[in-house]
Structure 1
Amino acid sequence: MKSKLSWQLVRSYEVTSEAFEPHCALLFLITLHWVADVWKIFLFSRQLLLASSTLTVPPKLRERMSSQDYDFARRQSLVSSTATISSATILLLVKTFKLYYGYHFYIWEFTVTQAETKFWRAIFYAVFDMLFSKLIALPFKLLAALMYSNASQMPLAAITIVSVVQIIVATIFTATMIACFMMVIGYFGPRILLYFTPLSNTIAMVLMAIYIQYFVPQRYSTLENEPSVHDSIKRLTTSVGYPSDKVYVNPDFNAAPNAYFIGVLGANMIMISRSLINMLGPQQLTAVVAHELGHWSKDHNIIHLALSVLEVSTVSIGVAYSYDSETLVKIFGFGKDKPQAIITLYMWIAYVSPLISDFLNGVRSVIGRLCEFYADDFACNVGLGSDLKAALLLLASKSTAYPIFDPLFSAWYLGHPTIFERVDRIENH
């Protein structure tokens, strides 16, 4: 009975009023896409301007990073930002054209000549939409590859072949998923959409907790095999009440220098890469572990879990609402030839879900930025601020990524403060 009521609650928000104006709702949706994409273009433009104007190695990195390495990373950042801005602009114009001029209605009408049943029409619809969307962006992708190519990259002909193969694979995958969804919903009923996402995420968390608790100790070594850093890190973990045997070492020498904390359903671990151990001194590495202990001490995993629950709930409700939605049929202008029920879900995933995800990801990133500051504060409070500062600057100098980020850009997209923001905060602690 509960599931029936829950499903009815979600479906009760269908707009049935004759005063409802689908065209106004469509214009509102287009406006939201413009706001979201212009915001994205604005942020990447800030990052592009910063990289364009910062021609020399920042003072705090001059003793650690060569001019050649910095210039290479800067040029890569310029290329990446320019490509993202160009892509976002083109996709925004394509989305606007498709929504405003009734593209989806015409594609659905076209499928009537390709198949007799709505099941197969839905599959053909997905195929035609994917091919059109991908192929229209292909020339711009090739142009970007031609403009920014260098001797180490693939020839343009090879890029073209790879891109075409990727389009074919993506189209086949999408058509297959559409068919599978229709068969699953046909067997279990549409209520499955309300519970599929929460159930799959719950299973994923349980499996992750089991992996951390039982498989990680078998696969990775502990600090007992690292005599150079074992004592200092163990003293730290003991002082804050974290078990030192839950700090593991990834032996893969090819793994990027990194350390991270994961806490799921009471199962905790801190993972340190072998390359990070080789790069940092004992005190610097202990400071990095102190930062990760800050995430554990401040229960940041619970914050991220709450954000995940919010995101999963939003996705679940949105998917359940959009399936066979009369409101969406009107908004997207399908007319009297009502499409197969899965198509309104397809439209939701294509045009509404990304807006929600972009916003929630931005919120998650801003909160993640605050968590990084609090974890740095924890390292400073245990007397390892100067060592953490040295470790951060060394990591920035050794990374092939561009070390400078616009604060607003990093806050919304990266979830981390810039290295220099973190260093300044540590110095002023």
Structure 2
Amino acid sequence: MREQTRKWLCCPRHVSFPAHIMDFLHSQLNKVTQQLAFVSVDPIDWKFYVQVISWTVTLFESYLLLRQYPLYSKTEPPAALAAHISASDFEKSQKYGKDKAKFALFSGFYKQCLDSVLLHYGFYAWSWDFTGRAMARFGYGVEYQITQSIGFVFLLFFLSSLPTLPLSVYSTFVLEEKYGFNKTSPGLFVADLLKGWAIGAVLLTPFLWAFLRIFNWAGDRFVPWLMAFVLAFQLIMVIIYPMVIQPLFNKLSPLAEGELRNRIESLASKLKFPLTHLYEIDGSKRSSHSNAYFFGLPWSKHIVIFDTLIQQSQPEEVEAVLAHELGHWYYLHPTKMLAISQIHVFTIFALFPAFLHAPPVLASFDFPQSRCRTAAHHRRVPPLPGQLASTLTFERDLMILTPLEAFVSIGMHAVSRHFEWQADRFACELQEKLSDEKMSDMGDRLGRALITLHVKNLSTVWVDWLYSAYHHSHPTLTERLKGLESFQKKKL
């Protein structure tokens, strides 16, 4: 009787979750897995498939860069911007865009070659075996496979990060330095790198441990439980990152008393935005690029403004930028994007079981056949090479789903651009929403702020439509200015 009770308590289907919902999800996921049953039996050369697809995506991205590159040779800005950008600023912007495009083309091929070499020579299988041998030297056997899995992930991250460090150094100290954006010293660069690795270790270790424990506990019904865990982790990070992690890199100080603070607090009060703190962040410590954002719980929000934005724009223009940001809050855009991302993650998790117990997939990535068979027969032990290799090749790097991810990226950017239009329109309509004549020129102010930001950041003003659809989450400056003009006219 006690044994039956113990099983009842340990079985996920009985843990205060509507059984009929769990059963329905499990049945639907089983149908997907059955449709993909060929994955576990057909001798498909997955390594070759991944190589071909990843190179196809790299070549496509290079093609987009080559479509965009000729636009950097234009000698005049778009007509809508001609009166707002000086000839010298436009020329500098074009040169900056051209240099960034060259660097992106080189770094794209460099990273792809690196990934291809690591994949071709069985880097994943070697890393797993190396981690196991290293643990064995310290007396840790096969029963510590979650520990081995965590060590494996860290080894992969560290060894694959080292070859790309020169790219970060060049981007920071050559490219950004050339155009006056870099404010990072070599010492600060190294300190940031070490801090990033340390924070990653502190956060990733419990995340991986919990992830694999839930995976093992839930058995074949792991998808909904892992979804809930990932969502909870994301929500926690939304709170922890700006309050705990970001202060390790930048100083957040209360925004000084004055016109700007008065404007923002008044706007937040009129909109009933639950403003708790208003911060200025020393973004100029590392870069002269500027930004502003908000974060927090539904009942307690915090606004952060970069000191560079305050320095580059007038208070009424910064207020307009914050009006745009509050438009995102008003229309629940962060919540909607989170929901969309959860659908995306669920789709990945739904396909994942088909690859989980598939010896041909594991063999393709150079894991020994004996271990592949072990992974296939022990479904309740997630960290074995089979399951961990599947995680890395399917969920972490999304190598098998790379073509679909490219289309997902375009779709996500389209949604994001729609939200940007809504936030711009919100700023233009504040006069009507608040019955405040002082807000009548909010659209003009936002337009001036956007122009200032683009000029100071040397942002590209000529953009190829396909390149923009693939890479940009915001409409181009020209598009936004035309939209603001349209929104303003509709008010008249």
TM-score above 0.5: yes
Residue 347 of structure 1 pairs with residue 393 of structure 2? yes
Q: Which residue of 2 aligns with 1:370?
A: 418
Task: Check conservation: 1:247, 1:272, Cα contact below 8 A.
Answer: no
Q: Which residue of 2 aligns with 1:216?
A: none
What TM-score results when the alignment is normalised by the length of structure 2?
Answer: 0.62
Moved more, 142-151 or 371-380: 142-151
| Distance apart, 1:380 and its partner CA | 2.3
| Distance apart, 1:420 and its partner CA | 1.3
Task: Check conservation: 1:280, 1:391, Cα contact below 8 A.
Answer: yes
Q: Which residue of 2 aligns with 1:189?
A: 216
| Distance apart, 1:245 and its partner CA | 6.1
Q: Which residue of 2 aligns with 1:39?
A: 60
Aligned length: 408
| Distance apart, 1:291 and its partner CA | 1.8
Q: 1:248 to 1:83 in 2, by over 3 A?
A: same
Residue 242 of structure 1 pairs with residue 271 of structure 2? yes
Q: 1:60 to 1:249 in 2, by over 3 A?
A: farther
* Equivalent residue letter for 1:352: M
* Equivalent residue letter for 2:235: M
Moved more, 139-148 or 309-318: 139-148
- The alignment's C-alpha RMSD in Å is 5.3
Secondary structure of the residue that 1:251 maps to in structure 2? strand
Q: Which residue of 1 aligns with 2:471?
A: 413
| Distance apart, 1:296 and its partner CA | 2.5
Residues 165-220 of structure 1: CA deviation (Å, up to 9, x unaligned) = x89x98xx99xx7999589847972648744563243144256469999xxxxx76
Residues 124-171 of structure 1: CA deviation (Å, up to 9, x unaligned) = 987997798678879999999999798899xxxxx9xx99xx89x98x
| Distance apart, 1:423 and its partner CA | 0.8
Moved more, 131-140 or 69-78: 131-140
Whole-angstrom distance in 2 between the partners of 1:243 and 1:18: 53
| Distance apart, 1:307 and its partner CA | 1.7
Q: 1:108 to 1:404 in 2, by over 3 A?
A: same
Secondary structure of the residue that 1:22 maps to in structure 2? coil
Residue 49 of structure 1 pairs with residue 49 of structure 2? no
Of 306, 318, 332 in structure 2, the residue corresponding to residue 285 of structure 1 is 318
| Distance apart, 1:422 and its partner CA | 0.5
Secondary structure of the residue that 2:371 maps to in structure 1? coil
Residues 380-425 of structure 1: CA deviation (Å, up to 9, x unaligned) = 2333222221221122222244454434333332311111110122
Whole-angstrom distance in 2 between the partners of 1:147 and 1:289: 33
Secondary structure of the residue that 1:338 maps to in structure 2? helix
User: Which residues in structure 2 correspond to 1:385-404 (within 5 Å)?
Assistant: 385-404=443-462
Whole-angstrom distance in 1 between the partners of 2:475 and 2:229: 33
Whole-angstrom distance in 1 between the partners of 2:67 and 2:486: 26
Q: 1:403 to 1:127 in 2, by over 3 A?
A: same
Q: Which residue of 2 aligns with 1:80?
A: 100
| Distance apart, 1:368 and its partner CA | 0.8
| Distance apart, 1:55 and its partner CA | 3.7
Which consecutive unaligned segments of at least 5 residues does structure 1 have?
154-158, 214-218
Task: Check conservation: 2:40, 2:359, Cα contact below 8 A.
Answer: no
Whole-angstrom distance in 2 between the partners of 1:280 and 1:144: 26
| Distance apart, 1:59 and its partner CA | 5.5
Moved more, 141-150 or 343-352: 141-150
Whole-angstrom distance in 2 between the partners of 1:132 and 1:64: 47
What TM-score results when the alignment is normalised by the length of structure 1?
Answer: 0.69
Task: Check conservation: 1:246, 1:270, Cα contact below 8 A.
Answer: yes
| Distance apart, 1:43 and its partner CA | 2.4
Give identity over the alignment, percent. 18
Residues 290-346 of structure 1: CA deviation (Å, up to 9, x unaligned) = 322322332212321212322443454466665454352255464633352323323
Of 239, 249, 259 in structure 2, the residue corresponding to residue 227 of structure 1 is 259
| Distance apart, 1:266 and its partner CA | 5.4
Residues 248-280 of structure 1: CA deviation (Å, up to 9, x unaligned) = 532335455433344754554544445434443
Of 325, 328, 339 in structure 2, the residue corresponding to residue 295 of structure 1 is 328
Task: Check conservation: 2:67, 2:467, Cα contact below 8 A.
Answer: yes
Moved more, 115-124 or 401-410: 115-124
